[in-house]
């Protein structure tokens, strides 16, 4: 497989970069992260009406643009770069994939157009208090009467979502058996939502308690389907992380170029130069893996689940390492609230464990590739 | 001192303590008595609140206070740096005006050395002091200043001459912090705490008699302050972990003083990585059963214990009167490596919970505080890079970095435009 | 070229191949025909064994050879660096004397640039060439020279003037390697192989007409040679892994030539860490069941695949005519990281067996060879440190290291006393 | 616990350093490593008659000097530093500890004096083809008739030893049960010894096949005793490794100080300086752990088994890392046979896995310390 971006894709990226530079400077990120919800409908709607971002990867038949994951990952990389405060990941990645892969034709026709237009803010409630993104860890029950009982945690934009896709299991089942997905309105009776305080104030998580909530099942939820949903999410997250890491790297490089100590630019110190070279290598390797996984997904490569884990683990290490280096290169300034570095630093920390830790994804990679 | 003199001195002290110690006295009152008697600072000169005893004798005096259950002067914080600097370089006026209230703790001091544009390069300070009429007038900005907002006096390093090389153009002042030209703003850190201040100096004034040493001697004086800084950091730690208080008014006042003084440092243990929490957390989360995480825990414990033993080796060598060897200088670097690895391990141990901050987060948010504080370990008190320069040059004797800023007028040296 | 011209050219080639290709010819005979016809080096000038075709057309010609099953000229090794250098900087005498036998492969060439005292700093060469009577007389020592012991000619960089700055005092010569003043000794490596030579030059002679370009132009000429070196390394790899031969005398001779040429490089795959062996070995030893080792295997595979894909991105960008971006320059650094990590992983996978070398060792000693060869990956062809200098300065545009050796006479520059 | 060396210990170290500088320069190491046996009786005897090194840690009652492990570790550190070619580790560490801890009074009186004087070259045959230094991996059988059946591998100086102490188990037993130690003469009938080719030519290993070899049992061999024997060996090896690492570090520092490139000393490059600082830290931390473990052993600290694993794992990482840095700091020269760096590099590689890998010792450490 050869991979790289077409002229059109590069042009799309340029548009997005300029858009977010304009609409999501760090002053705006700081303003939004201080709000209750962490983002605003207005900006979210504008992003969708002007650029159709939520629609990118949704098939045309369901009101989307029908592009591949590669295009969606361009958007995610740019959002990661600008640290855009929005429910994009929850809605257009997590919920959209789950519905597209597990929904009935009718459900897709009913739900995906709203997600594509940005009107419906949705999310996927996958893991629970144990914090495991392995389907085996699911304990929330979907009873015979169609009601859900249990709790979900670390649900992205779980408090704000209009629609929650909930992973459950039939009573008495374990492991990969008896899984099911269900649609729940955000304001459904019996659903109690509570915000969790995240290290990363630019992205909100919530704990959702289901006490006999009535829900509509999606017919296609099996362990392999959930594996594909997670793989898609991991690839998207990896690309978002690469965007953030690249921004940190570039900003730190700019900073040391301007900063003088001992009568010379900090960038002229050999140790700084070599660190900058190492940082470039880290980010470029993670970028290649993230791009490759997206391309493999669009070519319907069988190995995409392994590649998703590879990309996620690679990006996880690179992002955190880059964030640590970036703070260090800024010196004391980099540890202050007013400097922007910590905004990405915290996203890096949270992304490192979201959707599973790097160690867990490395383990999955070897499990897939061992033969 | 001969053993005999030692015995006599300690007997005199015991008598004095028996006559004067009373836990129901106020803290300032007691410290005033310590200042007058010289027992609080026994190694200081007799004329300045001391007893002219050799420095090595002070631990014996302190031990006697301990045995007696009496409080000694708190020899911590910036005020002690001020005292050391004033004793060595100050005028009698300075000694008269400041030393006694340093001992009693009535005055709060702060240190105005660092600037936004000169973090590692203190001698690159650009805050200007210009003689206008019969006063120095100071303009500029200082940063990383603990307690500036409540300080009475500041130790100020400022530039009085830009036409000479950088180190030669600095002067040292004692600045009245409670004048209109001095504004202290809290400086918030990425972990949400605001332990430091930024200090804006706008036509702040210093009387000529509050300059320490001559113009151009500032770097030399500052070196004395800095030499005492490391020691002060150590004693701050032991102050913070001071033992159980007795009963009585003076203990309450002392505890309150410690609480106030320590408040800005509440996150320092988290900055260091809280290795102590790793095993309990691993049991709590079940991560202790994960062989992959066990490896990382082992790595951390090996590094942490080895660093501890390295410090122990250094102390043992010192106690035996041997040259300390490289062990001492390596401690700072080791502790920053430990902090970084500890943050990694805490993340693995907590898994998804590592996302959570605040009271709902693991250990009431302590884990989150580690994860957003550890980067300071490799920056504060000299970055890792500065430490490695020091180790390679001073311990290993490798060539010094070529300097481009020491042999020409300060005004010609490229300076920061960003901070 | 227009598509029409392309078609005509390829048809002409097909006709020529049909008329001339015969697998029972000798290798030299066939290559002589390629030289005479210009089909072997189609992008070279017509007057010098080429056909004046654009460089981009060469791959099409080569593809046609492939389709036909005919052997093309082997465009590998130092001899091709010699050809490129001679074409660009040499005299017609040089072209006449050397180019044809470079194409036929009859002459072996070597490169005499590196010296024991100047590894990363090629321009610091101290081998002297002095004009004595009507000849250059050369004295000095060169190192890391592949094939010096069987070479006919050497590309020599030597100092002809020590009174000018270092880069300006170098000259470039073609040295007859089979004269008495040239002695090549094998240089044994820590892995036991001896792929390189040390070459001792003692009053070795060069006729003035074998100097390339003018005196003092040596660094400029050497730069041409070095530019082609990286490309040569790549083609060497593909040469070594050349596909199945056909049947016939010429294939046998070609295979023999490859075997000989590749012998010194037999450990190069081990130097790179043999990532391909990790999974099979892990299954063989059972390490694949160890979750701790699985983590390390995953780390290695992630790094290795990511590096591969980074190279792929660079090639794709190039093919689309985009600037290559940083990906290309990073490959060398990535591969040295991969090699180091691979050695670590192989050690974990083999456990106690990692001690064993020789035929009884794991994989007939291949694992042991990895473990004592990987350090070369971060040294040979430019150390990691040099790569990071290049990346930071040329890719990231960071300031160049201050130089102390470029603006004064070479004789005044501090030089090595050790090697 | 305070720890550090007394004046006497420091003086002992000085004597040894000068002795080995004189007797074991790398020319001598290279000469001996090219011999069949890897060491010579003459030098070994001299070392023992002049310095009594094999006797250091053997109790006075058995012809030794009765010093502690701390003193023995000084000797090992200096031997590691000079890469002394001798059967010291096999004889005075492995075999001596096994006999002292598991032998009967009569056996100790009979055997230890010979070991202390250097007359008897001995070794311990512990692990087998699987390469495990866990007693559970022992398969070699000691039958009821007192004969041994099975093979031992990676036996230090196994081909040259006059006396081999063999770890065996009773037929039908597994795990920590049924263990026993046995004395076998090097020339016993039924014992076939074959040299294995080690990466490290300065230290020889062998494979020993026992085909009904008659052997004399040591009465005290139990799993806890073997654990103590191994702990002692691991502490000794850690100290030896620290000596080697320190030598590599110091030599590399000297080299970069003398080597000029680009008209300046390589030591003046900031990246070289920082690497040198990191190397110092690595070695000093490993040194502290090695010293601490030895001191704890002599104070009969209960935790010594854990501390031994800590010291071994720490020294393993530090030695190999230092060796890699040392080659790199030498550049191309460091990769040549004529340069001495590779001699220690190979010892580092072999020591990394000898007595168990660093990962294995980390695992043991956590197992001991988990409560």
Q: Inter-chain contact B355–A260, Cβ cutoff 8 Å?
A: no
Interface test with C, best of B287, B291, B296, B298 (most C CBs within 10 A): B291
Partner C contacted by B289 (CB < 8 A): no
Among A220, A247, A275, which residue terminates a domain?
A220
Are both A276 and A342 inside the same structural domain? yes
DSSP-derived letter for residue C189 is B
Among the partner residues D331, D357, D363, nearest to C351 by beta-carbon distance: D357
Among the partner residues B298, B305, B319, nearest to D289 by beta-carbon distance: B305
Query: How many angstroms separate the Cα of D89 from the Cα of each of B284, D218, D358?
Result: 43, 20, 19
At the topology level of CATH, where does C107-234 sit?
Answer: Butyryl-CoA Dehydrogenase, subunit A; domain 2 (2.40.110)
Are both D268 and D364 inside the same structural domain? yes
Those residues whose C-beta lies under 8 Å from the C-beta of residue D259, and which sit 6 or more positions away, are C416, C418, D265, D266, D267, D331
Nearest CA in chain A to B118: A261
DSSP-derived letter for residue C57 is G
User: Rounded to a whole number, what is the distance in Å from the CA of C291 to chain A's nearest CA?
Assistant: 8
| CATH number of the domain where residue A208 is located | 2.40.110.10
Among A201, A220, A239, which residue terminates a domain?
A220
Nearest CA in chain C to A362: C298
Partner C contacted by A87 (CB < 8 A): no
Partner C contacted by B299 (CB < 8 A): no
Interface test with A, best of D271, D273, D275 (most A CBs within 10 A): D271
Beta strands in chain D (DSSP E): 122-125, 141-142, 147-156, 163-169, 179-185, 191-196, 205-214, 216-218, 260-261, 264-265
Partner D contacted by B315 (CB < 8 A): yes
Name every chain D residue with its beta carbon within 8 A of the beta carbon of A269.
Answer: 270
Name every chain C residue with its beta carbon within 8 A of the beta carbon of B290.
Answer: 291
Are both A364 and A279 inside the same structural domain? yes
pLDDT score, position B325: 58
Q: Inter-chain contact B392–D274, Cβ cutoff 8 Å?
A: yes
C-beta separation of A91 from A120 below 8 A: yes
Give the rounded distance of the alpha carbon of B342 from its chain centre: 24
Quote the CA–CA distance of B367 and B351 in Å, as a whole number.
11
Q: Inter-chain contact D286–B306, Cβ cutoff 8 Å?
A: yes
B286-310: per-residue pLDDT in tens?
999 999 999 999 999 999 999 999 9
Q: Note whether residue A1 is domain-resident.
A: no
Domain of residue D64 covers 7-117
| CATH number of the domain where residue A95 is located | 1.10.540.10
Name every chain C residue with its beta carbon within 8 A of the beta carbon of A365.
Answer: 298, 301-302
Q: What is the ipTM of this complex?
A: 0.95
Nearest CA in chain C to B290: C291
Q: Interface partners of A (3+ CB pairs, < 8 Å)? A: B, C, D
Q: Could you give the 3-state DSSP secondary structure of residue B159?
A: strand
Q: Inter-chain contact A269–D270, Cβ cutoff 8 Å?
A: yes
**pLDDT, mean of residues A79-105:** 98
- The tens-digit pLDDT sequence of chain C (419 residues) is 568 888 999 999 999 999 999 999 999 999 999 999 999 999 999 999 999 999 888 889 999 999 998 999 988 889 999 999 999 999 999 999 999 999 999 999 999 999 988 877 889 999 999 999 999 999 999 999 988 999 999 999 999 999 999 999 999 999 999 999 999 999 999 999 999 999 999 999 999 999 999 999 999 999 999 888 766 665 655 655 555 567 889 999 988 988 888 888 999 999 999 999 999 999 999 999 999 999 999 999 999 999 999 999 888 877 777 666 555 569 999 999 999 999 999 999 999 999 999 999 999 999 999 999 999 999 998 899 999 999 999 999 999 988 878 888 888 888 776 55
| CATH number of the domain where residue D259 is located | 1.20.140.10
Among the partner residues A331, A345, A354, nearest to B190 by beta-carbon distance: A345
pLDDT score, position D2: 60
Are both A206 and A248 inside the same structural domain? no
Q: Inter-chain contact C404–D337, Cβ cutoff 8 Å?
A: no
Partner D contacted by C405 (CB < 8 A): yes
Q: Interface partners of B (3+ CB pairs, < 8 Å)? A: A, C, D
Are both D303 and D168 inside the same structural domain? no
Chain D from 107 to 146: CB within 8 A of any C CB = 127, 130-133
Are both A184 and A234 inside the same structural domain? no
Quote the CA–CA distance of B247 and B259 in Å, as a whole number.
17
Every domain of chain B and the residues it spans? 3-76+243-262, 107-234, 267-381
Among the partner residues A273, A281, A366, nearest to C398 by beta-carbon distance: A273
Among the partner residues A154, A261, A332, nearest to B124 by beta-carbon distance: A261
Partner B contacted by D271 (CB < 8 A): no
Are both D232 and D362 inside the same structural domain? yes
CA dihedral A37, A41, A47, A49 (to 10 degrees): 160
Partner A contacted by B415 (CB < 8 A): yes
Chain D from 21 to 40: CB within 8 A of any C CB = none
Name every chain C residue with its beta carbon within 8 A of the beta carbon of D264.
Answer: 404-405, 414
Quote the CA–CA distance of B244 and D73 in Å, as a whole number.
42
User: Rounded to a whole number, what is the distance in Å from the CA of B401 to chain D's nearest CA?
Assistant: 7
pLDDT score, position D167: 98
Long-range pairs for C396-399 at CB < 8 Å and ≥24 separation? C396/A253, C396/A273, C396/A276, C396/A277, C396/A280, C398/A253, C398/A256, C398/A257, C398/A267, C398/A268, C398/A272, C398/A273, C398/A276, C399/A265, C399/A267, C399/A268
Q: Inter-chain contact B379–A328, Cβ cutoff 8 Å?
A: yes
Nearest CA in chain C to D339: C190
User: How many beta-carbon pairs below 8 A join chains B and C?
Assistant: 9
Partner A contacted by B186 (CB < 8 A): no
Among the partner residues A199, A200, A261, nearest to B121 by beta-carbon distance: A261
C110-162: per-residue pLDDT in tens?
999 999 888 778 899 999 999 999 999 999 999 999 889 999 999 999 999 99
Partner D contacted by B279 (CB < 8 A): yes
Name the nearest CA neighbour of D236 among D247, D246, D228, D224: D228
Are both A100 and A131 inside the same structural domain? no
Quote the CA–CA distance of D254 and D248 in Å, as a whole number.
10
Among A204, A220, A236, which residue terminates a domain?
A220
Q: Note whether residue A151 is domain-resident.
A: yes
Nearest CA in chain A to C329: A281
Give the rounded distance of the alpha carbon of A229 from its chain centre: 12
User: How many beta-carbon pairs below 8 A join chains B and D?
Assistant: 120
pTM to 2 decimals?
A: 0.94
Are both D147 and D254 inside the same structural domain? no
Those residues whose C-beta lies under 8 Å from the C-beta of residue C133, and which sit 6 or more positions away, are none
- The tens-digit pLDDT sequence of chain B (419 residues) is 568 888 999 999 999 999 999 999 999 999 999 999 999 999 999 999 999 999 888 889 999 999 998 999 988 889 999 999 999 999 999 999 999 999 999 999 999 999 988 877 899 999 999 999 999 999 999 999 988 999 999 999 999 999 999 999 999 999 999 999 999 999 999 999 999 999 999 999 999 999 999 999 999 999 999 888 766 665 655 655 555 567 889 999 988 988 888 888 999 999 999 999 999 999 999 999 999 999 999 999 999 999 999 999 888 877 777 666 555 569 999 999 999 999 999 999 999 999 999 999 999 999 999 999 999 999 998 899 999 999 999 999 999 988 878 888 888 888 776 55
C-beta separation of B194 from B126 below 8 A: no
* Average pLDDT per block of 10 residues along chain D, 371 residues long: 83 98 98 97 97 97 97 98 98 98 97 98 96 95 96 98 98 96 98 98 98 97 94 98 98 95 92 98 97 95 95 98 98 96 98 98 96 73
Name every chain C residue with its beta carbon within 8 A of the beta carbon of D331.
Answer: 119-120, 379, 383
Are both A131 and A215 inside the same structural domain? yes
What's phi and psi for D116, nearest 5 deg?
-60, -35
Among the partner residues D284, D362, D366, nearest to B330 by beta-carbon distance: D284
Q: Could you give the 3-state DSSP secondary structure of residue D184?
A: strand
b/e sequence D75-95, b meaning 16+ C-beta within 10 Å: bbbbbbbbbbbbbbbbbbbbb
Q: Note whether residue A49 is domain-resident.
A: yes
Nearest CA in chain C to A285: C306
Query: Which is it for strands C135-145 and A147-156: parallel, antiparallel or unpaired?
Result: unpaired
C255 token code pair: 């295979």
Q: Inter-chain contact C334–A272, Cβ cutoff 8 Å?
A: no
Partner D contacted by B387 (CB < 8 A): yes
Name every chain C residue with its beta carbon within 8 A of the beta carbon of A363.
Answer: 291, 294-295, 298
Are both D126 and D103 inside the same structural domain? no
Are both D157 and D271 inside the same structural domain? no
Number of domains in chain D: 3
């Amino acid at each position: 497989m050869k991979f790289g971006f077409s002229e059109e894709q590069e042009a799309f990226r340029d548009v997005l970069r300029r858009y977010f530079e304009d609409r999501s400077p760090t002053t705006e990120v700081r303003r939004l992260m201080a709000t209750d919800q962490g983002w605003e409908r207005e900006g979210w709607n504008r992003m969708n009406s002007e650029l159709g971002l939520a629609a990118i990867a949704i098939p045309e038949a369901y009101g989307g643009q029908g592009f591949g994951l590669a295009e969606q990952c361009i958007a995610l990389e740019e959002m990661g770069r600008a640290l855009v405060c929005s429910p994009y990941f929850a809605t257009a990645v997590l919920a959209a994939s789950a519905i597209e892969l597990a929904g009935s034709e009718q459900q897709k026709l009913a739900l995906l157009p709203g997600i594509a237009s940005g009107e419906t803010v949705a999310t996927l409630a996958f893991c629970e208090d144990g914090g495991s993104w392995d389907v085996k860890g699911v304990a929330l029950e979907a009873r015979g009467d169609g009601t859900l009982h249990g709790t979900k945690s670390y649900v992205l934009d779980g408090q704000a979502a209009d629609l929650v896709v909930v992973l459950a299991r039939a009573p008495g089942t374990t492991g990969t058996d008896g899984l099911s997905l269900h649609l729940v309105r955000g304001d459904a009776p019996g659903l109690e939502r509570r915000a969790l305080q995240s290290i990363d104030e630019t992205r909100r998580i919530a704990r959702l308690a289901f006490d006999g909530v009535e829900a509509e099942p999606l017919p296609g939820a099996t362990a392999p389907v959930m594996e594909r949903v997670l793989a898609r999410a991991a690839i998207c997250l990896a690309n978002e992380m690469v965007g953030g890491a690249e921004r940190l790297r570039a900003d730190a490089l700019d900073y040391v170029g301007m900063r003088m100590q001992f009568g010379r630019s900090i960038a002229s110190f050999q140790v700084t130069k070599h660190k900058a070279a190492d940082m470039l290598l880290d980010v470029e390797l993670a970028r290649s893996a993230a791009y490759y996984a997206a391309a493999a997904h669009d070519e319907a490569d069988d190995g995409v689940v392994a590649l998703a884990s590879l990309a996620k683990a690679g990006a996880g290490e690179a992002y955190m390492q880059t964030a640590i280096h970036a703070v260090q290169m800024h010196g004391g300034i980099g540890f202050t609230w007013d400097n922007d570095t910590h905004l990405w630093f915290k996203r890096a920390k949270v992304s490192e464990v979201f959707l599973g830790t790097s160690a867990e994804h490395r383990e999955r990679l070897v499990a897939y590739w061992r033969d | 001192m001969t053993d005999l003199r030692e015995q006599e001195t300690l007997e005199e002290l015991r008598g004095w303590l028996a006559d004067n110690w009373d836990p129901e006295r106020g803290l300032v009152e007691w410290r005033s008595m310590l200042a007058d008697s010289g027992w609080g600072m026994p190694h200081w000169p007799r004329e300045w609140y001391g007893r002219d005893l050799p420095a090595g004798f002070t631990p014996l005096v302190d031990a006697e206070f301990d045995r007696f259950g009496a409080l000694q002067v708190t020899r911590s914080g910036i005020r002690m740096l001020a005292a050391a600097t004033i004793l060595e370089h100050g005028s009698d006026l300075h000694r008269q005006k400041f030393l006694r209230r340093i001992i009693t703790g009535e005055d709060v001091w702060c240190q105005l050395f660092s600037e936004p544009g000169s973090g590692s390069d203190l001698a690159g300070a650009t805050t200007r002091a210009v003689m206008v009429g019969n006063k120095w007038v100071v303009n500029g900005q200082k940063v990383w200043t603990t307690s500036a907002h409540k300080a009475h006096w500041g130790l100020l390093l400022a530039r009085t001459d830009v036409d000479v090389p950088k180190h030669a153009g600095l002067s040292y002042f004692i600045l009245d912090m409670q004048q209109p030209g001095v504004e202290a703003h809290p400086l918030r850190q990425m972990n949400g705490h605001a332990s430091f201040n930024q200090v804006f100096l706008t036509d702040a004034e210093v009387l000529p008699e509050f300059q320490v040493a001559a113009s151009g001697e500032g770097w030399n004086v500052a070196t004395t302050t800095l030499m005492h800084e490391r020691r002060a950091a150590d004693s701050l730690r032991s102050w913070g972990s001071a033992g159980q208080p007795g009963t009585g008014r003076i203990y309450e006042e002392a505890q309150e003083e410690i609480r106030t003084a320590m408040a800005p440092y509440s996150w320092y243990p988290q900055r260091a990585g809280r290795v102590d929490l790793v095993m309990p957390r691993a049991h709590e989360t079940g991560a202790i059963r994960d062989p992959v995480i066990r490896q990382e825990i082992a790595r951390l414990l090996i590094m942490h214990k080895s660093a501890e033993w390295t410090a122990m080796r250094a102390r043992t060598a010192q106690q035996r009167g041997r040259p300390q060897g490289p062990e001492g200088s390596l401690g700072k670097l080791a502790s920053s490596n430990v902090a970084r690895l500890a943050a990694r391990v805490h993340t693995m141990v907590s898994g998804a919970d590592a996302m959570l901050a605040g009271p709902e987060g693991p250990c009431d948010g302590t884990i989150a505080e580690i994860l957003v504080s550890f980067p300071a370990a490799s920056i504060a008190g000299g970055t890792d890079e500065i430490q490695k320069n020091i180790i390679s040059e001073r311990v290993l004797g490798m060539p010094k970095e070529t300097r481009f800023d020491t042999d020409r007028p300060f005004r010609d040296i490229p300076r920061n435009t960003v901070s």
